[in-house]
Chains A and B, each alone.
Chain A
Amino acid sequence: MSEPVPITINVNGRKRSAMVEARLLLVHFLRESLNLTGTHVGCDTSQCGACTVLLDGRSTKSCTVFAVQADGSEVQTIEGLADGDELHPLQDGFWEEHGLQCGYCTPGMIMSAVNLLEDNPAPSEAEIREGISGNICRCTGYQHIVNAIQHAAERMAQS
Chain B
Amino acid sequence: MTIADGPALPKLIGERVKRREDPRLIQGQATYVDDIKLPGMLHLAFKRSDIAHGVIRSIDTSAAAAMEGVELVITGAELAEHLGPMPIGTPFPAPDHYSVATDKVRYVGEPVAVVVAEDRYLARDAADAIEVEYDELPAVVDPEAAMEAGSATLHEGFERNIAVESYWGGTGVNPETAQPEDDSAVDAAFAEADVVVSQRMLNQRLAPNAMEPRGVVAHYEPGREYLTVWSATQNPHILRTLVAALMGLGEHQVRAVAPEVGGGFGCKINIYGEEYVAAALSRLVKAPVKWIEDRTEAFLTTTHGRDLLGYIDLAAKNDGTITGLKARIIADIGAYEVLLTAMIPTLTGLMMNGVYRLPVVRHELTEVFTNKTPTDAYRGAGRPEGLYFLERAVDMVARELGMDPAEIRRKNFVPPDEFPFATQGGLVYDSGNYEPCLDKALEVADWQGLLAERDAARAEGRIVGVGLSFYVEVCGLGPSAVVPTGGWEHSGVTVERGGKVTATTGASPHGQGNETTFAQMLADHFSIPLEDITILHGDTSVVKQGIGTFGSRSQAVGGAALISAAGKAGDKMKQFAAALMTDQEVSPEDLVFEDGRIQVEGAPEVSKTFAEVADYAYVPVPLPPGMEPGVSEEAFFEPENNTYPFGCHISMVEVDRDTGETKLLKLIAVDDCGNVINPLIVDGQVHGGLAQGIGQAMFEEVVYDEDGQPVTASFMDYVMPRAADLPVFELDRTVTPTPINPLGAKGVGEAGTIGSTPCVVNAAVDALAPFGVTHIEMPLRPERMWRLINEGGQS
Give the nearest-CB partner of A92 in chain B: B26
CA distance A128 to B752 in the complex (A): 23
Contacts of B511 in A (CB 8 A): 101-103, 139
Q: What is the distance, in angstroms, from B651's C-beta to the closest C-beta of chain A?
A: 14
> How many chain B residues have a CB neighbour from A under 8 Å?
58
Q: Indicate the member of A44, A125, A138 with the most B CB atoms within 10 Å.
A: A138
Q: Is A37's CB under 8 angstroms from B688's CB?
A: no
Q: Which of B71-79, B97-105, B206-214 contacts A (4 or more CB under 8 A)?
A: B206-214
Given A21-B121, A48-B211, A98-B19, check contact A91 B27 (CB 8 Å). yes
Q: Is B724's CB under 8 angstroms from A140's CB?
A: no
Q: Is A47's CB under 8 angstroms from B687's CB?
A: no
Q: Is A138's CB under 8 angstroms from B715's CB?
A: no
From DSSP, what is the main secondary structure of chain A's interface residues?
loop
Q: Is B726 an interface residue (CB 8 A)?
A: yes
Q: Is A141's CB under 8 angstroms from B724's CB?
A: no
Give the nearest-CB partner of A50 in chain B: B211
Q: What is the distance, in angstroms, from A43's C-beta to the closest C-beta of chain B?
A: 4
Q: Is A138's CB under 8 angstroms from B210's CB?
A: yes
Q: Is A133's CB under 8 angstroms from B722's CB?
A: yes
Q: Is A7 an interface residue (CB 8 A)?
A: no
Given A125-B728, A136-B715, check contact A102 B263 (CB 8 Å). yes
Contacts of A94 in B (CB 8 A): 22, 26
CA distance A102 to B260 in the complex (A): 8
Q: Is A43's CB under 8 angstroms from B23's CB?
A: no
Given A79-B27, A138-B688, A141-B729, check contact A95 B19 (CB 8 Å). yes
Q: What is the distance, in angstroms, from B338's C-beta to the closest C-beta of chain A?
A: 21
Q: What is the distance, in angstroms, from A88's C-beta to the closest C-beta of chain B?
A: 9
Q: Is A119 an interface residue (CB 8 A)?
A: no
Q: Is B526 an interface residue (CB 8 A)?
A: no
Q: Is B212's CB under 8 angstroms from A43's CB?
A: no
Contacts of A121 in B (CB 8 A): none
With beta carbons under 8 angstroms apart, the residue of A41, A42, A110 that contacts B26 is A110
Contacts of A77 in B (CB 8 A): 28
Q: Which of B1-9, B29-37, B617-625 contacts A (4 or more CB under 8 A)?
A: B29-37
Q: Is B513 an interface residue (CB 8 A)?
A: yes
0 or 1 for each of A103-145: is its CB under 8 Å from B? (1 = yes): 1111100100000000000000110111011011111111111
CA distance A138 to B715 in the complex (A): 12
Q: Is B329 an interface residue (CB 8 A)?
A: no
Q: Is B209's CB under 8 angstroms from A79's CB?
A: no
Given A45-B716, A128-B723, A138-B692, check contact A104 B211 (CB 8 Å). yes
Q: Is A44's CB under 8 angstroms from B34's CB?
A: no
Q: Is B726's CB under 8 angstroms from A141's CB?
A: yes
0 or 1 for each of B475-514: is its CB under 8 Å from A? (1 = yes): 0000000000000000000000000000000000011110
Contacts of A130 in B (CB 8 A): 723-724
0 or 1 for each of B240-273: is its CB under 8 Å from A? (1 = yes): 0000000000000000000011110100000000
CA distance A91 to B28 in the complex (A): 10
Q: Is B25's CB under 8 angstroms from A103's CB?
A: yes
With beta carbons under 8 angstroms apart, the residue of A21, A23, A103, A140 that contacts B684 is A140
CA distance A138 to B688 in the complex (A): 7
Q: Is A36 an interface residue (CB 8 A)?
A: yes
Give the nearest-CB partner of A147 in chain B: B728
CA distance A100 to B22 in the complex (A): 8
Q: Is A144's CB under 8 angstroms from B687's CB?
A: yes
Given A102-B211, A129-B724, check contact A48 B715 (CB 8 Å). yes
0 or 1 for each of A22-46: is its CB under 8 Å from B? (1 = yes): 0110001001000111111111110
Q: Is B26's CB under 8 angstroms from A91's CB?
A: yes
Q: Is A102's CB under 8 angstroms from B510's CB?
A: yes
Q: Is B317 an interface residue (CB 8 A)?
A: no
Q: Is A68 an interface residue (CB 8 A)?
A: no
Contacts of B121 in A (CB 8 A): 21, 23-24
Q: What is the distance, in angstroms, from A94's C-beta to the closest C-beta of chain B?
A: 5
Contacts of B296 in A (CB 8 A): 44
With beta carbons under 8 angstroms apart, the residue of A31, A48, A126, A140 that contacts B687 is A140
Q: Is B28's CB under 8 angstroms from A138's CB?
A: no
Q: What is the distance, in angstroms, from A127's C-beta to the closest C-beta of chain B?
A: 10
Q: Is A106's CB under 8 angstroms from B26's CB?
A: yes
Contacts of B513 in A (CB 8 A): 101
Q: What is the distance, in angstroms, from B725's C-beta to the closest C-beta of chain A?
A: 8
With beta carbons under 8 angstroms apart, the residue of B30, B120, B715 that contacts A103 is B30
15 intermolecular pairs with C-beta atoms under 8 Å apart: A36-B28, A37-B28, A38-B30, A40-B211, A44-B295, A101-B512, A101-B684, A103-B25, A129-B723, A138-B209, A138-B211, A140-B688, A141-B687, A141-B688, A144-B687
* 7 cross-chain pairs, A with B, having the tightest CB-CB distances, nearest first: A38-B28, A104-B262, A103-B25, A102-B511, A141-B687, A47-B715, A141-B691
Chain B residues within 8 Å of A, Cβ to Cβ? 18-19, 21-32, 34-35, 37, 120-121, 209-213, 260-263, 265, 294-296, 510-513, 680-681, 683-684, 687-692, 714-716, 720-724, 726, 728-729, 752
